[in-house]
Structure 1
Amino acid sequence: MIEWLFDATFTIGDEQILWREVIGNAFGLASALGGMRRKVWAWPVGIVGNVLLLTVFLGSVFGDASRADMLGQAGRQVMFIAVSVYGWMRWRETRRQDLEVRADGKVPSSGAEGVHPHWATWPQRAFLVGAMVVGTLALTPLFRALGSYEPVWADAWIFMGSLLATYGMARGWVEFWLVWVAVDLVGVPLLWSAGYFATSLMYVFYGAFTLVGFFVWWRVHRREQSAVPEPG
């Protein structure tokens, strides 16, 4: 079964597509859907997809030399796993605290979701923008020295955006969805030119999905704010 998962492909036109690339992205999509619904299970599901995609983007390590290694893409899968563990723990704690609000142990009106969306502060927004720019500039020469696919700045941009978006999701910042949009705008043409067609097409879908997620979290935030009783 493991050997089949690594080697199985299907054909679209003249291109051979790895099933594990499709399956890995399917897990990523399921994780994004869970994140939009603020479900704790989004994190472990995403980790499974990250492990699969790591084997795709480091193809030469796993016996596939037909496509270029995408070091930024591979590195971000490792980053995803690390940050997802943090997000998983943070959302589980939020859910536990929600459940403890009710003495009878029943699920509160919030549904015991893993996070309560809120806007980032202006210093936090400045951090996101600054880290995106500085991180991209710093990682570009490193990725180039390691032999990543050109244009290397785009690979670095995707890596930094993915890191910041995942961290923002863990913190519950509504703006994290917009960071994903910035990642998708660069990721689609880069991955298509490198031959990762399944992932590139998935990024197109992600772009629309993240805009929906942004407005969903925005509405949730407004609803939860309106439900807060006035002081006194």
Structure 2
Amino acid sequence: MDLLRWLFEAQIPVAGSALLLREVLGNIFGLLSALGGMQRKVWAWPVGIAGNILLLTVFLGSLFGAASTATLLGQAGRQIMFIAVAVYGWRRWSQSRRDGADGAGHALVPRFASGRERIGLAAGMVLGTVALTPLFTALGSYEPVWADAWTFVGSLLATYGMARGWVEFWLVWVAVDIVGVPLLFSAGYYASAVMYLFYGAFTLAGFFVWWRAHTRTKAEAGAAVAEPALEGAAR
């Protein structure tokens, strides 16, 4: 109990202010999870879940902290969503790795989403934000509420896209960060805001890493098909 109380109350002094230790730790776990995701490692999912649990307590504001702490229902809700989708991703990547994936120890082979899947992502972002904004408003989420809803919906779609192995999921994260970083700064969650600012650059790098992996795998598959054909022609 003493350790748990310390975790909930501990703060890190920074420039005359203070950051919640669990907010910092939650974001460090999130960064490690993102690094694992870029490398297509299964351990990225359980590490991410640990960070989500910590951040859930942070964004519920006054339920777990001081009465003056802003409550971001979208940010809190997406931690619960992250955990649920992470369980799905964890199982999917584990199965893919058992099946051999790309034969190089990666959990899956990245691919680009189909045209229909891309339309679904775009429509989901817009319609989901429109649908959840009045709900989050009624529940008392921090203004501007549409930004909170946008980050929630985008995070859901990006995490699902990662589980499916779509290269575009990195770009969905960029769209989330563009809106989410100013929201977090305005709400006073500086550690998360700085971390998500870093994520913006990181997710762009992740997009190109997965794109190259997709291109390399496609080229190797083409070469494997062409080699027997050439041998047959030589005979």
TM over 0.5: yes
What residue number does 1:113 align with?
Answer: 106
What residue number does 1:176 align with?
Answer: 169
Where in structure 2 are the equivalents of 1:15-34 lying within 5 Å? Answer: 15-34=17-36
What residue number does 1:86 align with?
Answer: 88
Equivalent of 1:218 in 186, 211, 216: 211
What residue number does 2:233 align with?
Answer: none
Is 1:67 matched with 2:69?
yes
- Comparing 139-148 with 4-13, greater Cα deviation is found at 4-13
**Letter of the aligned partner of 2:32 in structure 1?**
A
Equivalent of 1:158 in 151, 154, 158: 151
Shift of 1:115: 1.4
Equivalent of 1:137 in 130, 141, 158: 130
In structure 2, C-alpha distance between the alignment counterparts of 1:110 and 1:74, rounded to whole Å:
38
Is 1:230 matched with 2:225?
yes
Shift of 1:36: 0.1
For structure 1, the 5+ residue unaligned runs are: 100-108
Shift of 1:59: 2.3
The secondary structure found in structure 1 opposite 2:70 is coil
Shift of 1:95: 0.1
The secondary structure found in structure 2 opposite 1:198 is helix
Where in structure 2 are the equivalents of 1:188-199 lying within 5 Å? Answer: 188-199=181-192
In structure 2, C-alpha distance between the alignment counterparts of 1:138 and 1:11, rounded to whole Å:
39
In structure 1, C-alpha distance between the alignment counterparts of 2:124 and 2:17, rounded to whole Å:
37
Residues 111-170 of structure 1 deviation map (CA, whole Å, 9 limit, x = unaligned): 221111000000000000000000000000000000000000000000000000000000
For structure 2, the 5+ residue unaligned runs are: 230-235
Structure with higher Rg: it is: 2
**Letter of the aligned partner of 2:169 in structure 1?**
F
- With normalisation by structure 2, the TM-score equals 0.93
Equivalent of 2:15 in 13, 34, 53: 13
In structure 1, C-alpha distance between the alignment counterparts of 2:190 and 2:8, rounded to whole Å:
17
Q: Percent identity?
A: 65
In structure 2, C-alpha distance between the alignment counterparts of 1:136 and 1:63, rounded to whole Å:
28
The secondary structure found in structure 2 opposite 1:98 is coil
- How many residues are paired up? 223
In structure 2, C-alpha distance between the alignment counterparts of 1:178 and 1:218, rounded to whole Å:
12
- Comparing 162-171 with 222-231, greater Cα deviation is found at 222-231
Once superposed, what is the RMSD of the aligned Cα atoms? 1.1
